[in-house]
Structure 1
Amino acid sequence: MFAISRRPLRRFAGTGAAAFLLSAAVIGLAPAPASAHSLSDIVRSSDGCGWSSGSYTNQDSRSAINRNGSRYGTVYLLWSGAYGENCVVTRKESWHGTLTWTVAELHYRSSGSGAEGVVRDGDQYGHYAAVTQKTAGHCVRFLGSISSGGHGGPLATGSRDDWGNCG
Structure 2
Amino acid sequence: MFAIPRRPLRRFAGTGAATLVFSAAVIGLAPGPASAHSLSDIVRSSEGCGWSSGTYTTQDSRSAVNRNGSRYGTVYLLWSGSYGENCVVTRKESWHGTATWTIAQLYYRSSGSGAEGVVQDEGQYGHYAATTQKTAGHCVRFYGAISSGGHGGPLASGSRDEWGNCG
SS of 2:42's partner is helix
The structure with the largest alpha-carbon Rg is: 1
State how far apart, in whole Å, the 1-side matches of 2:50 and 2:123 are. 18
Aligned residue number for residue 107 of structure 1: 107
User: What's the TM-score, normalizing by structure 1?
Assistant: 0.79
User: What's the TM-score, normalizing by structure 2?
Assistant: 0.79
Residue type of the alignment partner of 2:84: G
Q: Does 1:69 align with 2:34?
A: no
Aligned residue number for residue 87 of structure 1: 87
Q: Which runs of 5+ in 1 are unaligned?
A: 1-32
State how far apart, in whole Å, the 2-side matches of 1:147 and 1:62 are. 16
How far off its partner does 1:74 sit? 0.1
Over aligned residue pairs, what C-alpha RMSD do you find?
1.3
Deviations 1:50-87 (A, max 9, x none): 00000000000000000010000000000000000000
Residue type of the alignment partner of 1:58: T
How far off its partner does 1:36 sit? 4.6
Structure in which a larger fraction of residues adopt helix: 1
Aligned residue number for residue 125 of structure 1: 125
Q: Which runs of 5+ in 2 are unaligned?
A: 1-30
Moved segments of 4+, more than 2 Å: none
Q: Please give the residue correspondences for 1:8-87 in structure 2 after superposition, counting only pairs within 5 Å.
A: 36-87=36-87
Aligned length in residues: 134
Aligned residue number for residue 153 of structure 2: 153
State how far apart, in whole Å, the 1-side matches of 2:36 and 2:93 are. 11
SS of 1:40's partner is helix
How far off its partner does 1:37 sit? 1.7
Residue type of the alignment partner of 2:103: V
Identical positions, percent? 87
State how far apart, in whole Å, the 1-side matches of 2:116 and 2:152 are. 29
